[in-house]
Amino acid sequence: MSAQPTVSYTLDPKQAILAGASTRITETGKYVGIFTRAEAFTTRDGARGVEFSFKDNNGASAEFLTLYTHHADGKEAYGIAVLYAIMTCLRVKKIVARSGPIEKYDIATRTRGVFTVDLLPDLMNKPIGVLLQHEFYTNKQNQPRERMGIFMPFEANTNLIAAEILEGVAQPEKLAKAVSTLRDRVQAPRNGAAAAAPATTTAAAGGSGFDGFDDDIPF
């Protein structure tokens, strides 16, 4: 009878560190990874936006990163500037939603499974950097809640933000300053006020209004 092969393991320190660690991103900071989901959505009242799932290079993830791009009346919301900044950092001029299956947690059914949704594949599975901000807020019932939000994207391999890419800047300068001043965000209680789309400061688009976005795009 032949001898059984000897079982052996070689220590992987990176895996060892992950034991007992959270796989969720819950802290404000700078992350590099990919969007594993970019889903176009329309709310019941007609507002539109894009919801992202993000996984960083260490395997930690953040779900429900929501950008509202249009109000119910069709007017642009500030989130569209952040979306354009993401497109710029990924060097994508146009995105088109395509129906397709993807695994996700569905809030409506409170289940995780494979659902067919409107995906934006040009934004998915490509290296990107993001500054994520931990936000504390109150819901419609004035109950305290928290979430992660996209504060500002940047190009993963250069650290350039959208404004620098569009201006043809070679060396990144603005990201380090943004990181140094980034803090958790706390919204005041609603006090019965109507629900509002998540807001992001103008730094999220790199200080650019993106006027004439199709003109002189350097990619």
Segment 77-133, tens digit of pLDDT: 999 999 999 999 999 999 999 999 999 988 888 899 999 999 999 999 999 999 999
Residues 145 and 155: beta-carbon distance below 8 Å:
no
State the pLDDT at residue 197: 44
Whether 63 maps to a domain, the answer reads yes
Whether 138 maps to a domain, the answer reads yes
Whether 80 maps to a domain, the answer reads yes
Q: Report CA 74 to chain centroid distance, whole Å.
A: 23
| Residues 26, 134: Cα–Cα separation, whole Å | 7
Q: Report CA 120 to chain centroid distance, whole Å.
A: 13
Whether 12 maps to a domain, the answer reads no
Q: Write out the residue range of the structural domain in which residue 81 sits.
A: 23-191+198-203
Residues paired with 32 in a beta bridge: 129
Q: Indicate if the alpha-carbon torsion angle 51, 166, 77, 148 is positive or negative.
A: positive
| Residues 131, 199: Cα–Cα separation, whole Å | 15
pTM of the full structure: 0.80
Higher pLDDT, 202 or 114: 114
Domain count across the chain: 1
| Residues 88, 219: Cα–Cα separation, whole Å | 9
Residues 81 and 94: beta-carbon distance below 8 Å:
no
The helix (run of H) or strand (run of E) holding residue 15 is helix 13-18
Residues 68 and 47: beta-carbon distance below 8 Å:
yes
Whether 5 maps to a domain, the answer reads no
Whether 210 maps to a domain, the answer reads no
| Residues 102, 92: Cα–Cα separation, whole Å | 22
Lowest-pLDDT choice from 92-106, 124-138, 141-155, 194-208:
194-208
Whether 84 maps to a domain, the answer reads yes
